[in-house]
Structure formats: C-alpha cells, structure tokens
Amino acid sequence: MSRRLRRVLLGVYLAIVLLLTLWPGLRLPETPVPRPDLIGHAGMFGLLTFLLVLARVGGAPTLGARNILVGGLIALVFATATEAAQGIPGVNRYSGWDDGAANALGVLAAVSVCFLGGAFDDQKREGNSR
C-alpha cells in the first residue's frame, strides 16, 4: 500500500472520528453492558494510532521507535483535544476522565503492539542475515 493511500485513509478516518466524537447530542442505545462506549473509545483511538504509524507520521521505518512514539503522541493529543471539546456548551456531550483514560488505554495498547511487531520484525531480519 502506498504512503499516499495510507495518508488518505488516515484523513478519512480522522474525519469519521471527529464526526463521532463531536456530533452534538449523540447518544448510544441502551445495552446490558455498562458503559460500552469505553470499549469504543479504546478501539477508536487504538485504530487511529495504528493508522498514524502506518502513515509514517514520525518518519520511516514504519515500525521504528521514533515513528511509533510520534504516532502515539499525536493520537494521545488528538484524543485529549476531542475529549475536551465534548465539554464545550452546545456540543451537549459527556466529557470525563474515564473516557480520556479509555482513549489513552487504546493508544497505549496500539503503541505496545507496534513495538512488539517491530521487535519481531527485527528478529526476523537478523535471522535472515545469519
């Protein structure tokens, strides 16, 4: 997949995240699971982190430490900003520490998976060079 296509996908996903997080008065249907939105928060910002890493916002290589950390930092700042924006009068959304923690957990999980992927990729390359 070309870098350009990865960046287009990232842009489309960012627009979707903004719509979902800032649409005024958006409410989830009732479920038997308490606070299912927290799972959505973690998943949404975890996927955002993966897309930022794939788009190489921190430079190449894709699974290099700098790229993973920059992607994670951008996702965390974006998650914090959108969570804070939900508290703006007129948006009529819930903004709370628990949502922010779920956002951060999703980012942390994605960063961890990327670092593990990078470690396995490094081992694979070292094994092939022997």
- CB burial readout 10-41, b (16+ within 10 A) else e: beebeeebeeebeeeeeeeeeeeeeeebbeeb
What is the per-residue pLDDT across 30-65, written as a single tens digit (0 to 9) for each?
A: 888 888 889 999 999 999 999 999 999 999 899 999
Residue 124's CB: how many other CB atoms inside 10 A? 10
For the whole prediction, is pTM greater than 0.85?
Answer: yes
Residue 42's pLDDT is 97
DSSP string, 61-100: STTSHHHHHHHHHHHHHHHHHHHHHTTSTTT-----HHHH
Amino acid letter, residue 10: L
